[in-house]
Amino acid sequence: MELVQQFAWIFHIILIILAVMLILCLIRAIIGPRIADRLMAINMISTMVMVIIAILAVVMNEGYLIDICLIYAMISFLAVVVLTKIYTGVYLEARDRRSELKNSEREAVKTDAAESGKGGPDHGIH
Amino acid sequence: MGFIEWVRFIVGVGLLIAGLLIFVVELYGVFKFKYVLNRMHTAAMGDTMGLGISLLGLIVLCGLNFTSLKMGLIIVFLWLASPVSSHLIARLEVTINEELEAYCELPEERAAKETTDAEEKCIKEVEKEGVGC
């Protein structure tokens, strides 16, 4: 453990490299053309943050930071599960509504045609 | 501090740097590939192997105590959670992408289903036009 404190600069360099990679992940999340891209980038960010917290726990010699890391892992997994469920549900609902609208339009066209077919001769008689 | 301490330190830092290299490869792959389902492959590599090797290095540095036990627990949890979240994201992508054929080959069933869907749509359009005429 004394060696870790003695050569703390190695860990500081590793932390800086991880922070730069975190920013690159954020860029991926911003330019990602699809929703799945963004979710995946957030997943990567959470993994790197977990490594950063674990390194800090060892370098600062604070054992309780590891508990935070464990909770972070669980919360990021929960976030991915909930967000995918929400996006799938929203998309399916919108698709159902769209197909329903199309069906009702088709029905309306059919009934219009039928009424005009029936109504034409009636008007002629009156 | 003895010889063993130095060996432990060097092995731990080496494993940590190996994990860092795997993160670099992951990031390179994520920017290189063109489609989400390809990018997911490298992202999953970082989730399991990068974090696993990094935390293994930290366990070697830390020695055997409760902290290293919790680190092992994190590795096991990510081994279980990462495939599940990858699967969920891939299923989301396959569900909401309407022109999936442009990006990848589809298995027979889905392709057949889509062609029948297209045929049905065609027939319905013809019917609609007939009614309209």
* DSSP line for A25-42: HHHHHHH-SSHHHHHHHH
pLDDT in tens, A5-59: 888 888 999 999 999 999 999 999 998 788 889 999 999 999 999 999 999 999 8
Same domain, B18 and B71: yes
* CB-CB contact of A65 with A53 (8 Å): yes
B119 and B84 fall within a common domain: no
Q: Is residue A94 part of a domain?
A: yes
Rounded mean pLDDT, B28-45:
88
> Domain check: are B67 and B122 in the same one?
no
CA atoms of A102 and B108, how far apart (whole Å): 28
The tens digit of pLDDT for each residue in A97-111 reads: 888 888 888 888 888
Confidence of residue B34 (pLDDT cuts 50, 70, 90): confident
B84 in the same domain as B52: yes
Q: Looking at the domain assignment, is residue A123 inside a domain?
A: no
CA-CA distance, A2 to B61, in Å (whole number)?
11
Measured CA to CA, the distance from residue B65 to residue B97 in angstroms comes to 48
- Show the domain range for B10: 3-97
Q: Which two tokens stand for residue A8?
A: 């703390």
What CA–CA distance (Å, rounded) separates A86 from A88? 6
* B38 and B12 belong to one structural domain: yes
In chain A, positions 33-92, which contact chain B (CB-CB < 8 Å)? 34-37, 39-41, 43-44, 47-48, 50-51, 54-55, 57-58, 63, 66-67, 69-70, 73-74, 77, 80-81, 84-85, 87-88, 91-92
Contact assessment for residue B15 and residue B60, using Cβ atoms and an 8 Å cutoff: yes
Question: In this model, does residue A124 exceed pLDDT 50?
Answer: no
Separation of alpha carbons B84 and B78, rounded Å: 10
Do B128 and B75 reside in the same domain of the chain?
no
- Chain B CB contacts of A32 below 8 Å: 36
pLDDT recorded at residue A108: 86
| Residue B131 pLDDT > 60 | no
B7 and B60 together in one domain: yes
3-class secondary-structure state, position B98: coil
Q: Is residue A44 part of a domain?
A: yes
A22: containing domain: 2-116
The whole-number pLDDT of residue B56 equals 92
HSE-CB of A70 using CA atoms within 13 angstroms: 15
Distances (CA, A) of A71 to A4, A8, B119: 25, 26, 51
Whole-number pLDDT of residue A111: 82
Q: How many distinct structural domains can be found in chain A?
A: 1
Q: Could you tell me which chain A residue has the CA closest to the CA of B95?
A: A88
pLDDT single digits (tens) B57-96: 999 988 888 888 999 999 999 999 999 999 999 999 888 8
Q: Which of B51, B65, B81 sits opposite A51 (nearest CB)?
A: B51
Structural domain count, chain B: 2
* pLDDT value of residue A82: 93
